[in-house]
Each structure stands twice: as structure tokens, then as C-alpha cells.
Amino acid sequence: MPDEAAAEATAGGLNGNHQRRLIVTCQYIDGLLATIETVLATAGNGSPFGKYADDLLPAQKRVAEDSVRRIRAQMVRLLASHGLEPTPRQVDASHAIRTALAFSDDAVEELKPSYMRGYGDVSAEAAATLNAIAEELQATIRRLDVTLAQRSAADLRERINRLPEHAPLETLRTLERVIDKYGLVEFRPLLSTILQAFEEQHFEIAVFGRVSTGKSSLLNHVLGRAVLPVGVNPITSVPTRIAYGDRQRLRVWRANQPVLDTSLDALAQFITETGNPGNQLAVTRIVVELPAAPLKSGIVFVDTPGVGSLARASTSETLAYLPRCDVGIVLIDASSTIAADDVEMLRRLASAGIPAHVLLSKADLASDADLERARAYAASTVRGQLGADTAVYPVSVQPERAALFERWRHEELEPLMERHRELARESVARKVTILADAVSSFLRRRLSSRRPGPTTAPDLSGVERALQTGAARIQTLQQRAEAIADSVRGWRSTLLGLASRAIAGDTEPNAAVARAFSDVARHVADAVRSEFVATVGDVRATLDSAAATGPIAAGALTFDVDRELRELPVPELPTVRVSPPSALRWFGRAATTRLIKRHLDSAVGDALTDALATYGEILRAWVKTTLGRVRHAWEIDVEQVRASMDRARGFADERPVDAVEVQRDLDALQRGAAA
């Protein structure tokens, strides 16, 4: 029986199968033509990794380029003569490039020592070198990826021009101009976020927390309906926005797909690991629209993916979203304790100028006494880490603990929602100030790093080695500081010994334990502090030596050690109750000390181990965050060094820094900030 698809022949006698074959062949030829264009563009371009030798005369290149265009035009005409068109473009260029960058990032990752050991033993020196090489390449790859993920400068400019008059238009225009002028691609995401806040006039209340802390259950309870799926599996790495709509529906954005409008019943298919494992459906945005009264005034609730070791992909997506919200609610499981991930989230919210509220979820699983202890400990930890007094509310969605939820709703949530317009304006004003300060800081560094150079280029191989040494030193700092943080739990015996000797010397037992805990914590913190001070000093010296080599611009490493180390966490010990028997006194000092230590070990040893372990996690999170700022400062200065090296080698023709022009831009930003 003949193929039904081939039943009808068109003009020229081509049936359906013929037509498809013709289109596929034209697509294949177009791919080969693209290869020719690549060869023409890259042959003889000076790349040390170039594949093609340039043996073409200029006239031959022109003929080849013209012929490629002619062949494509011929194929389009041929298809049109049969009523056919080329297949529409299916893949965005930015998506294709970012995919290639992802593979490049993976390839660089395999240069690290853990992979290279398969090719032979890796010494400590070689490991540091490999880590430095990988870190430097990955930083550049990821900066390009961030750039491609952002909207164009022209698009940002147009969006600013469409903003309402109450927006700080001149400040935003100055920020956009300076960011575009100096290529500060890392600041475009925050500028885009600020513009979106003015455009949408929404007030976003985002709920953060580790996996399975009850974020979805809490939001369902706030909304008074079961909107979000509840379960223990980490959900797909996409924040779910819940906004007002005149009808109930689910809107789903997927890569290279039209927006899907569907029923809320389908939500689990897109945001759970069961329905969409590893985000195979390439979901990029999820919005639930509800005709709910609390949302009508512009309030948007956001359920963020869980953070922590069980949801690494989700963690990165949550942190990427974080600057967009106006208020953050951080949930901590009342049956556990505040962890490093919780403190890190609060620290990031504070750094972004976003007010944070802390809730102890699943309060129905703990007694009143345990809840009060957990609440007091969480509040003291936040105060110790961030220097802020934050109210901590226990909440539960269970009927028997309804009073807890209602108290939080009445004292915190409802005032937020009533003042949301005022708070939204304050939120976006804070973000504008933070962005203006960051861009101004760059301009000041640009002025301070300006230096004249000789007319001849020096040998820059020493500079390359110096940069690798600096990157390796930062990598070593991470390993050493994390090892110190991880060692904290092993200080139990030392802590008990210090406390026992103090008690034997007539110090009040509880005060002795608290002092010993503080002494141990400070000792560990001092060790971490010493590592940071030494490393930043070494890295600054590395940049200075690079600058002294020749016409190399180098900053002073834009990292304020004193300010950062003032924020180094020193925790408060949870209250412990110790009453060693006074009858031990007649044994003598040494024997008494040993017996007291044994008694303390039995009475509060496990509690002290837990407290030390918690502090170790908090300290590790601080190391990670602070080291990120060191790396960022290093990368900014290294970019200037490399730009100078490229100019010296003739790879680039960058215009020298015009101090008057930079100062003019800096003054414009400062005028806007003061307005």
C-alpha cells in the first residue's frame, strides 16, 4: 500500500516525503556552509590553538564569502518555488553558547587534582597549581555565562525610559550608562532586578529554608488552600511565584517553548523531582495565579527550592533568585537546630539589604520548653552572627498549635502586608543604594590603579606565574580554613579541661563552662583570622609584584580584612546547668579537677559537642561566604592586570583610563545617591 504521506504530489511532482527530504538536505548544506564560514573567520586569526592555516588569498576569501551567501539564497528560492520554507530557528544563540560554556566548565573541572590523580601522583605543589588554573578559567567562563544570561544594555535603557516618574530615573540612567561603559556585566542582574521591581509594582515575600522544613505547607496555610504540593523530596530548582489573577491557573515558561497555561492540578508535574527529575522539562519560570484577596494589592509569595546538601542544584537557583525579593522568611525546623545553611541565607539577605524574618517550623513536634530553648538559641545565634536582634516565632500548621501561627500572622505577617507599598519603596531604594555603592567602588579602584608604563613591553611570564601563585594561595586558604572549622567538634576534651580547672579554683560552674566554650571558640576563630590575614597579605604582595614588573595595572585587592574579620562569628553557648558535688574538695586540686571533668563529661558533654559542631558549621559557612568576597576582589584586580598585559602584548587596543572622565562618572553617581 503506498505511503499516505506521499499520496499528494505538489508542483514539480514532489510528494510529502520528497519535500521533507529537500528541507533536511538544505539544512544539512547550511550546516556545512556554517563550517566554511568558521574556517574563513578563524584561519590566520592568531589563536595559539588555531586549527586552520591561512593559505587563502584575500580575493579567494571574498569569493568564498559571496558564494556562501549565494548558495543560501538559491536554497531559499528553490524551497519557495515548491511552497516550502526553511524550518524556523529552534535554538537561541545565547542558549547554544551557554551550553558550550557548560561543557567547557565541565572540562576545566576535570583539570583539578581529584581527577588528574588518574594520570599519576599529584604533589601538593602540583595540586595547588592545578586548582589555581581551574579556578581562573572557570571564573572567566562563568562571567561570560552570566553576561549571556542578562538582557542587553539597550534593553535596560529602554526599560528605564518607560519607568514611572516616581522612580529615581537619573540615578538609574547613570548606573546603566556606567555599567555599560565600563563593561561591568556582573552588576547587570541587580539593575535588571531593580527595574523589574519598578515595572511590576509587586511586593515579594519569599520563603527560604533547608529541604523539608515545611515551606510549602506554611504557604498553603497562609493562602488558606492546598496550592503547593507537599512532600519530602527536594523539588525542581525553580522558585514558584504565587500572584493574583482573575482566574485560577498555572503558567509555565520552558526553554524555547511558548508559555503554557494550564490547570493547577499539573503543578506537581513541573516542580517536583518525581514529576520533573533534574528539571528535564527545562522549566525556567513558574507562576501560580489565584483570585485571592491577600494577593490583589500586588503581594506575591514565592516558594523557593530547598537549600543544603540534598539539593545542590536547587541551592544555586535559590541564591540566584534571592536579590529579587523584598522580604525573606527563613524557616528552621524546630526539631533540629539552626545550621550553617540557615545562617548563610540570613547573611546573604542582610548583604542584599533585604529584611529577614525567622520562623521555627513544625512547632507541634516539640514541647513548650524545647520550643523556648530553640527560639532563644536561634535568636542568640542570629545576634552573634549578624549583630541584629531578630524576632523568632515558632509556627505550626496543625490545628492543636493554631495559636502559634495566628500570633505570627497577627504580629508580623499582617503588618507586612498592610505596609507593603511603603516597604516595597524602601526595599527598592536599598537595592539602588547598594548597586550605586558597588559601582562607585569600582570607579574609585579604577582611579587608584591608574599608572603610566614604559613604551616597550617587558617579559610577562613572571606575571603569569605570580597570578597563578595568588590563585593557588586563595585555594589553599579555603582548604586550611575549612579544616580548622571542621576541627571544632574535636575540642570537647579541651573545653571540659578548661572548665574543670576553673571550677576547681572556685569559679561558678555554669560561668566556667560558658567561659571555656567562649575561649575555645575564640581560639578557633583566631586561627581562621590568622589564615585570612596572611593570605590577603600574600595576595596583595603578589599583585604588587605583578604591577612592579612593567606597564601592569593592579589594584590593592578590594577586600577590607578588618571589616570582614570584625564579622567573624563568635557564638553564645546555650544555657547549661552544672552542679558538681562540693564534697570533692578534700581530694586535692589535681584529683578534684579530674573528677569534675568526668562529671561534666557525663552531665553536659554531649550538649557541648552539639554546640561545638553547630559552631563549626556556622564558621564553615562564614569561611565560604567571606572567601567568595576575597575571590571576587581578586578577580576584579586580575582582570585589570590581564587587560594591561594584553595591551603590552598588542592583543588589545583598550583606551587608557581618563581620570577626569572616571571622576565625572563617580561624581554623577554620588550626586544621585545623595538626592
Has domain 210-401 been given CATH number 3.40.50.300? yes
Dist CA 427 CA 354 (whole Å): 7
Question: Edge-to-edge strands of the sheet including 240-244?
Answer: 260-262, 249-254, 283-290, 240-244, 299-303, 203-209, 327-333, 356-361, 392-394
- pLDDT on residue 58: 79
Dist CA 492 CA 600 (whole Å): 11
Which 3 state secondary structure label does DSSP give 419?
coil
Q: Which three cell numbers stand for residue 390?
A: 531578630
- pLDDT on residue 250: 94
Given a cut of 70, whether residue 1 has pLDDT beyond it is no
Q: Whole-number mean pLDDT of the chain?
A: 77
Q: Which of 368, 341, 370, 371 is nearest to 359 (CA)?
A: 371
Torsion angles phi and psi, residue 243, rounded to 5: -130, 170
Evaluate whether 365 touches 329 at the Cβ level (below 8 Å): no
- pLDDT on residue 648: 61
**136-150, 384-398, 433-447, 643-657: range with lowest mean pLDDT:** 643-657
Question: Beta strands 299-303 and 392-394: pairing type?
Answer: unpaired
Given a cut of 50, whether residue 389 has pLDDT beyond it is yes
Dist CA 554 CA 446 (whole Å): 9
Beta bridge partners of 601: none
pTM of the model: 0.52
Evaluate whether 601 touches 580 at the Cβ level (below 8 Å): no
Dist CA 332 CA 208 (whole Å): 9
pLDDT bracket for residue 654 (50, 70, 90)? very low
pLDDT bracket for residue 198 (50, 70, 90)? confident
| Between 320 and 6, residue with greater pLDDT | 320
Let me know the angle formed at the C-alpha of 625 by 623 and 630, rounded to the nearest 5 degrees: 85
Dist CA 352 CA 487 (whole Å): 31
Evaluate whether 556 touches 540 at the Cβ level (below 8 Å): yes
Dist CA 509 CA 595 (whole Å): 14
pLDDT bracket for residue 2 (50, 70, 90)? very low
Q: What is the mean pLDDT of residues 442-453?
A: 64
Give the H/E segment covering residue 116.
Answer: helix 113-116
Given a cut of 50, whether residue 664 has pLDDT beyond it is yes
Dist CA 135 CA 139 (whole Å): 6
- pLDDT on residue 359: 92
Q: Which three cell numbers stand for residue 611?
A: 554546640
Report the residue count for the chain: 675
**What is the per-residue pLDDT across 490-546, written as a single tens digit (0 to 9) for each?**
888 888 888 888 887 778 888 888 888 888 888 888 888 888 888 888 877 777 776
The amino acid occupying position 388 is A
Q: Which of 67, 77, 79 is nearest to 36 (CA)?
A: 67
Q: Which three cell numbers stand for residue 461?
A: 611570564
**What is the per-residue pLDDT across 42-72, written as a single tens digit (0 to 9) for each?**
887 667 777 888 888 878 888 888 888 888 8
Q: What is the mean pLDDT of residues 98-118?
A: 83
